[in-house]
Amino acid sequence: MKRVIRLTESQLEKLTESRINEVSAIELASVLKEIPCTGESIKSLISKKLMEYGFEDVNIKFLGYGEDDKKILRYIIHTEGPIFVVATMSNSEAEPPCMEVIDVIAYTKA
């Protein structure tokens, strides 16, 4: 038995809306990896960068320290699209001192 679903134009637009400006999770991971060391909070920098790409709901939580190196701080970033795990390390030699992004892994929801 077939069912017919009727959508209004606004409902169809909402279903097909693209929030990430057609950028893949892997491309976003490389963008996040290139965030400059400015002295501003790494969470703030990551949120701003993802919001530039159209994400509205960015939630960043501390995930833990690196397995082998306790100087590495790991964060998990939840968005309405992909999820990222970011590894950072303090750079005290920079002026002003800041957190540098070392690695970014992107996960997409299946």
Pairwise CA distance, residues 77 & 46, whole Å: 9
Pairwise CA distance, residues 94 & 62, whole Å: 23
pLDDT at 14 (0 to 100): 61
pLDDT at 22 (0 to 100): 53
Q: What share of the chain is helix, strand, coil (3-state, %, to 5)?
A: 25, 30, 45
The alpha carbon of residue 44 and the mean position of all alpha carbons in its chain are separated, in whole angstroms, by 11
Dump pLDDT digits (tens) for 6-58.
777 776 666 555 444 457 888 999 999 999 988 899 999 999 999 988 888 89
Contact call for residues 89 and 32 (beta carbons, < 8 A) = no
Domains along the sequence of the chain with CATH:
24-107 (3.10.450)
Dump pLDDT digits (tens) for 59-100.
999 999 988 888 899 999 998 888 999 999 988 888 888 899
pLDDT at 2 (0 to 100): 72
